Amino acid sequence: MASLNIPNFSRGADPVNLVTEAAIKDIPEVLKQHDTSPNGLTETEAAARLEKFGPNQVAEEKHHGWLQRIYLAARNPLVILLSILAIITFATAGGASDIAGGMLMVAMVVLGISLRFIQETKADNAAAKLKAMISVTATVVRDGQQKEIPLKQLVPGDVVKLSAGDMIPGDVRLLSAKDLFIIQATLTGESMPVEKTDARDARTNVSSIEHTNICFLGTSVESGAATAVIVATGAHTYFGKLAGSLADQQVETAFEKGVKKFTWLMLRFMAVLVPLVFLINGITKHNWKEAFFFSLAVAVGLTPEMLPMIVSVCLSKGALAMSKKKVIVKRLNSIQNFGAMDVLCTDKTGTLTIDHVILEIYCDVFKKESAEVLRDAYLISHFQTGLKNVLDRAVLKYTELHHELSVDKYTKADEIPFDFSRRMMSVVVEGPDGQRQLLTKGAPEAVFAKCMHFESDGEIFPMEPILVGNLIEQVNDLSSDGFRVLAIANKKVGPQTAYSKADEEELVLTGYLAFLDPPKDTAKKAIAVLRQQGITIKVLTGDNDLVSRKVCTEVGINAEKILLGSQVETMSEEQLAEAAETTDVFARLSPAHKKRVVMALQKKGHVVGFMGDGINDA
């Protein structure tokens, strides 16, 4: 068998470099670099690469057996000190009272370790059950044939097929894409789908997550279809890099540092008092044996035997209370950190906001609420084929809750699908009077360019350049306030067998829709309560600064000064530490930026909590 030429493009490479390198190259260059073709790898090639690069799995937190969990629970410095004193007590016991004292210390040690072991075992088991519920496969092209295989068997160079609902099986470069929208919430925390295309993206000065022809492991397909080549798998992916940082050795908590300080304080007291008591008793009573035992009794007396058990009981009670709120506490020591927190860093989307886009505005060109605009938008969303995106669902939900609109009176005649070049889509419907209308929605600037007239209060007027300028200004103002805007237009059409994008000309603009992911009703009150407890709130989000400023202002967070991810990138650790103290809102952050901000605050002596709902927040 001929030896295989396995490209050395993934082993030990930086995920960011792998992605950027694939993004800036044309498709033939990418395929050549990864020694593959549109027909995919052969099974032999795939097996060789699987052996070289390993399974497509990200780093996981090491699972501890029951013996190791007991060891970790017993590693508490105070428990170790108490155990040593118990051994000394038994070794030098002079009567029943000494044995009873030793037994008490042993009992406290065992109870403290047992409570911690039981609570953390329950948390580990709950997390394991959640993980066991997940099983993912991918559609791959091998030997020119499509087949479905487990995600972990994929290798760099594999060609995969993607469709609505699929999870992206690795960091991939798109070879072809049709109306592809990707949900990147697991990486960015933002719920709005992102458009992706197969065109070359020559930008090298943007974050790797912003490349328009790259999809990342852990994200999913909202709608559309695509073919892609895998450029990185497992730990070499962007997601794998994040997971690897999670699997790293955990940092020492403030509670653990406090226990160590207290234990060393006790040891210092003993180091001074025990020899002093021993010498004084020996010199004054001339019985050095009795002086030795008395000094040991002083050492035992200085040690709070009940403290390990009391601490474990208190922490376990806190974990139990949180479990009733459906919170898994994996490390008991984090309970104390939670209580000692003085800075809370929080994500925006899904944490401060409801993580659901809702329809806020439906109006004509003069900003007057328009039932016709809402009706046309509803008919488009109802009759269009394929998966409904978040904006479609928002229109349907709002209309069904607040208006009675019977679609039975309307019949769909045809549809002109969305594409990236037009940035709009249309449906043709026939009303109860038999008249057909072409209803169009799309990006405002794209729809405005197709409109010759606009409608207001049932009358038709010509579109003047000054009106277009005013409309663009309105849209820009809404966008700066965090709204997502869609324009709505229509025109009467005659009966014909099929319609095309050529029919999307000389439209009548009826108005526009504006959508927003609003703050939670409870967010402002919760922030006020936290402030009363002396906790400073800082927002760390991947969203843009305009949206972040609006949401933060509404919930009572000072957003006058916003620090962007690009600024964080160029700051030294000292500069960032100073900036983090005086800034409450950080926008356009990558997970690495968020980590730097949190660590900068910790270096300034703060106990920092972080709250979010995505893997990027972990």
Distance from C-alpha of 141 to C-alpha of 511, rounded to nearest angstrom: 46
Give the helix ranges, DSSP H, for 248-324: 254-285, 288-302, 307-323
**Residue in this structure with the two tokens 């004054």, named with its chain if needed:** 284
* Alpha-carbon dihedral 39, 40, 45, 50, rounded to 10 degrees: -170
> Which of 433, 20, 335 has the alpha carbon at shortest distance from 209?
20
E strand spans, 337-423:
343-346, 358-363, 411-419
From the list 179, 347, 392, 617, the catalytic residue is 347
What H or E segment, with its residue span, contains residue 608? strand 608-611
Indicate the pairing of strand 585-587 with strand 562-564: parallel
Q: Would residue 347 show up in a list of annotated catalytic residues for this protein? A: yes
Q: Of how many residues is the chain composed?
A: 618
E strand spans, 49-184:
137-142, 145-150, 159-163, 171-183
DSSP state of 435: -
**Residue-by-residue DSSP string for 564-579:** EHHHHHH--HHHHHHH
SS3 292: helix
Q: Report how far apart the first and last C-alpha atoms of the chain are (Å, whole number).
A: 46
Indicate the pairing of strand 562-564 with strand 343-346: unpaired
SS3 149: strand
Distance from C-alpha of 193 to C-alpha of 369, rounded to nearest angstrom: 27
Percent helix, strand, coil in the chain (nearest 5)?
45, 20, 30
Distance from C-alpha of 76 to C-alpha of 255, rounded to nearest angstrom: 11
- The single-letter code of the amino acid at 429 is V
Distance from C-alpha of 363 to C-alpha of 370, rounded to nearest angstrom: 5
Indicate the pairing of strand 159-163 with strand 220-232: antiparallel
Distance from C-alpha of 239 to C-alpha of 217, rounded to nearest angstrom: 6
From residue 576, give the alpha-carbon distance in Å to each of 190, 342, 594, 598.
24, 18, 11, 10
Determine whether 138 is exposed, middle or buried from the number of CB atoms within 10 Å of its CB (0-12, 13-18, 19+).
buried
Q: Which residues contact 516 (CB under 8 A, 6 or more apart)?
A: 357, 358, 360, 482, 483, 484
In the beta sheet, which residues pair with residue 357? Answer: none
> Among all residues, which ones are annotated catalytic?
347
